[in-house]
A = this chain, B = another copy of it.
Amino acid sequence: MSDSRPIGILDSGLGGLTVVRELFTGMPDETLIYIGDTAHFPYGPRSPQSIKAFAMSNIKKLAAMDIKMLVISCNTISAIALDSICNELRDIPVVGMINPAARAAAAHTAVKRVGVIATEATIASEAYTKAIANIDPSIKTFAKACPLFVPLAKEGIVDAEITQRAAQRYLDEMIHRDVDCLILGSTYYQRLMEIIQSMVGAHVQLIDSAFWVAKEVKTMLNAVNARSGVSGAGKEKSTLYVTDLSASTQSIAAVFLRDTVPEIKKCIL
């Protein structure tokens, strides 16, 4: 059995293209439909009420496109609005960013001390702390909002001293907490991985939420025999939509996709 319908991806902007890249790599036959809400990016500093309203308005567009599964590739939306989205889309399986990374961290930590860095909204929601406590209540989770990391990653300032200073500012606490595992709870942070790793030390395992969610999507599709039966060319048939197309959209997308980018289309707000 197979299911060649596309997988829908909802993101607050372009950071979710790191998840798209992982999905293309792991399942080259799958077709994706991505909506990045660049008109309202970034979601991280906004109120839960606005985050839910923006997410739900885009969910309706994706739900109308006959998708077989929905991936919420944005940590902030996953942390704030996953329950509302699942209630709205009762017939479509929904995968968020929080649980796959939380499970990976719980499996990796030997000292039972996990760090989480993410946007203000994700940290304020305590979504990661609660998810890890659900898996293993003996694990201590230390969470830290890093509001400058998204603008730095977006500007591509990834190896300058300015980023080192920001990393030091945010990660000092993690180092003192002796975590052996650090969840990168925003897809944007993947771009800052090297500097984060060098700051916390090689003994700390970084958990990239994009990698783990793509792994989970593959496992779920395999489990219900819903992988695409059409061979190859999934990427060529995939479509990337954004809600605001600015002069830098295509070039920022290329950085996150680390590849040539299919034409990005503007969808109606």
On chain A, the number of residues with a Cβ less than 8 Å from chain B's Cβ atoms is 30
Q: Does A39 contact B (CB under 8 A)?
A: yes
* Chain A residues proximal to chain B, CB less than 8 Å: 38-40, 45-47, 49-50, 53, 120, 124, 147-148, 151-152, 154-155, 157, 160-162, 165-166, 169, 244-248, 269
* Chain B residues with CB under 8 A of A152: 148
Closest 7 CB pairs of A and B: A162-B165, A151-B151, A47-B246, A50-B244, A39-B50, A47-B244, A46-B244
Complex contact A45–B248 (CB within 8 A): yes
- A248–B44 Cα distance when bound, in Å, is 12
A37 to chain B, nearest CB (A): 11
Q: Which residues of B contact A165 (CB under 8 A)?
A: 160-162, 165
Contact in complex: A247, B39 (CB < 8 Å): no
User: Given the complex of chains A and B, what is the CA–CA distance between A151 and B148 in angstroms?
Assistant: 7
Chain B residues, Cβ within 8 Å of A45: 154, 246, 248
